[in-house]
Amino acid sequence: MGAQLRQLRRRIKSVKSTAKITRAQELIASSRIVKAQQRMQAAVPYEREITHAVSAVLSNTTNVDHPLTVAKEQPATAGVLIVTSDRGFAGGYNANILREAEALKGHLTGRGLAVKPYVVGRKGITWHRFRSREMFGEWDGFSDNPSYADAKEIADALITAFKAEDGIDEIHVVYTGFVSMLTQNVIVKRILPLEVEEAETAPEGIPPYYEFEPTAGDVLDSLLPRYIESRIYNALLQSAASEHAARRRAMKSATDNANELIRVFTQQMNQARQAEITQEISEIVGGANALADAAAGKE
């Protein structure tokens, strides 16, 4: 067997095993998207209710000066929460996030703010470490399946830093919003000081006049951190779904590429084999002819 033929066989074998791996990854990611979407759906009622409650309190009490809703006059530092994934193999998912985070950083620096990164996901953490940038918070190990406790931990750290004297004056979050299986967009949002996002269907008419137990201030005190937790949980869930969708797409194109390579190599291999056989035949025919000529010459 010719050297070329052997080499092609080896390459096909290796590409085939790569294709098997990427195909498996693709299937795993597809099944996880469904789960991630279900978790997003399951979180919707709570988000809707808590948004409703927060806007109810804020609309009932005109003179709230809660520390979480009031913008400082001269903000000096901004915390940026960057949500990346723990694992790669997801195409441009992390690169897109980090690029947007850099853009936001440039924007904030332009406004004269010092930027403090808070990073979720191993990919983002190593990215910052590699550039020896200081991180003020890092969390990993749950990017593909975040729980509410994870969101709470992050929110606690951010709120504590926000309330601290020499802490941060603004908090922004950079994550990937899940629009559909095919579309995910990087979203940059300010979460503190708080701007309450009204649910898509604004309640019709005047909001009812609530009584508060114990007082409006106390309710707001415990309501706002929960609201922020819920926003962060939402960001984590959307990022998880987006991560799986990005991975599925990246793995699908990797599998397609591998299959295309296998097709090309198989063709080349067949050509090489055919050439080898043709050569062998012509050698045999040539040899037989020479023998026949020699025998004819003897007679």
Partner 1 sequence: MAKLRVGVVSPEREIWTGEADMVIAKTVDGEIGIMPNHAPVLGVLVEGGVLRVKRGDEGDLVAAVHGGFISVADNDVSILAEAAELGSEVDVARAKDALQRAQASIEADQEDADARLQAKRAAARLRAAGEEV
The DSSP string of 32-101 is HHHHHHHHHHHHHHHHHHHHHHHHHHHHH-TT---TTTPPPSS--EEEEEEE--SS--STTHHHHHHHHH
- Answer yes or no whether residue 212 interacts with partner 1 by CB under 8 A: yes
Which of 11, 16, 35, 52 is close enough to bind partner 1 by CB under 8 A? 52
For residue 164, give the 3-state DSSP assignment: coil
Near partner 1 by CB under 8 A: residue from 24, 34, 42, 288: 42
Instruction: Pick the piece of the chain touching partner 1 (CB under 8 A) from 84-92, 225-233, 240-248, 281-289.
Output: 225-233
> Is 2 in contact with 277 (CB distance < 8 Å)?
no
The verdict on 233 binding partner 1 (CB under 8 A) reads yes
- Residue 83 or 90 with smaller CB distance to partner 1: 83
Q: For partner 1, which is the closer residue by CB, 49 or 195?
A: 49
Q: Token pair for residue 256?
A: 């397609």
According to the binding rule CB under 8 A, does residue 142 interact with partner 1? no
CA dihedral 183, 125, 154, 56 (to 10 degrees): -30
Stretch touching partner 1 by CB under 8 A, among 10-18, 42-50, 110-118, 240-248: 42-50
**Residues 6+ away with beta carbon under 8 Å from 296:** none
Scanning 66-74, 93-101, 147-155, 191-199 for contacts with partner 1 by CB under 8 A, the matching segment is 147-155
Q: How far is the CB of 262 from partner 1 (least distance, A)?
A: 44
Residue 57 sits in the site that holds partner 1 (CB under 8 A): yes
Q: Which is nearer to partner 1, 8 or 43 (CB)?
A: 43
Can you tell me which residue has the tokens 């550039």? Answer: 131
Joined together, the tokens standing for residue 250 give 């990246």
- CA dist 91 and 251 (Å) reads 8
Return the structure tokens found at 285: 């025919």
As measured in angstroms, the least distance from the Cβ of 67 to partner 1 is 18
Taking the least distance from each CB to partner 1, the nearer of 112 and 214 is: 214
Task: Give which of 7, 18, 6 is closest to 257, Cα–Cα.
Answer: 18
Amino acid at position 299, single letter: E
Counting contacts by CB under 8 A, is residue 285 touching partner 1? no
Shortest approach of partner 1 to residue 43 CB, angstroms? 6
Q: DSSP character for 215?
A: -
**Residue matched to tokens 């919003």:** 177
Query: Binding to partner 1 by residue 62, rule CB under 8 A?
Result: no
209 binds partner 1 (CB under 8 A): yes
- Per rule CB under 8 A, is residue 258 in the interface with partner 1? no
- Contacts to partner 1 by CB under 8 A: 39, 42-43, 45-46, 49-50, 52-53, 56-57, 147-148, 151, 208-214, 218-219, 222-223, 226, 229-230, 233
